[in-house]
Amino acid sequence: METDAGRKLRGVLLQVSYDGSAFHGWARQEGARTVEETLSGAVLAVDPRAGPIRGTSRTDAGVHAEGQLAAFDAELEIPARGWALGLNQHLPEDVAVRAARSVPVGFAPRFASRGKRYRYRVLVDPVRDPHWRARAWRVPQLDLAAVAREAEAARGKHDFASFRAMGDERATTVRTLTRVDIERENDPRIVAIVVEGDAFLYRMVRILAGTIVDVGRGRLPAGAVARALLALDRRTAGTTAPAHGLVLEHVYVDLPEGTGEPWPP
């Protein structure tokens, strides 16, 4: 695509993975280390005339990602594999570009997203485990049957006003969760709350996970999720689960046809 200034630009889409432990979230902030700023620095190191990064999900401080998407417009003509390899040479150990592909100039993955999948990990263990300290929320005990019942209540289309944090000023709080599942992982102490939906409110997954866990550890009575959905009041839901247990696993995005390289499913 030729711009008014005569520059030929090319759109690039990245799948980005990061350990959020040492980041103040995705979005650029003055005086703070963020994923967006770190990734932008790598892009500009490869192509000094590249445009700004367009991310998909503004993950909070401490939240991890395996499938974050980000796009930008570049002047250099570099194949997809070259972008992935080249950017990773300029990125620190806690961030990596897992895949890249060509997209139209100006492509914004946020507006092409049709849903996201998150995974919240809980370590059920009375004794702390340093190996999971930055990847799972430890609780001493958990009633799995109770947890499963609360998860079931959250599935479907509901008004999730009770499950958003202060600062979220979106007028519409109705969202559809197509999946709220409880899974055991390879480590039998790890219980994962897998949440998939069309869109999410600010800290919605963490508040939902915290409410489910609060019932499972006896801090809230059974039926807490259903009651909070009806109340439309944040005070009726449970704890906001700690950020370090959450990972953005996948963004489902409608890609333009005919843009070449295959893309991870």
Decide: 72 and 252 in contact? Cβ < 8 Å: no
Give the residue from 247, 209, 193 showing the smallest Cα distance to 18.
247
Q: Find out whether 87 and 43 touch, Cβ atoms under 8 Å.
A: yes
Q: Across-strand partners of 129? A: none
- Which of 19, 60, 73, 214 is labelled catalytic? 60
> Quick check: is 60 catalytic?
yes
Tokens representing 248 are: 């953005």
DSSP string, 78-102: --HHHHHHHHHTTS-TTEEEEEEEE
Element of type H or E holding 41: helix 35-46
Which residues belong to the active site? 60
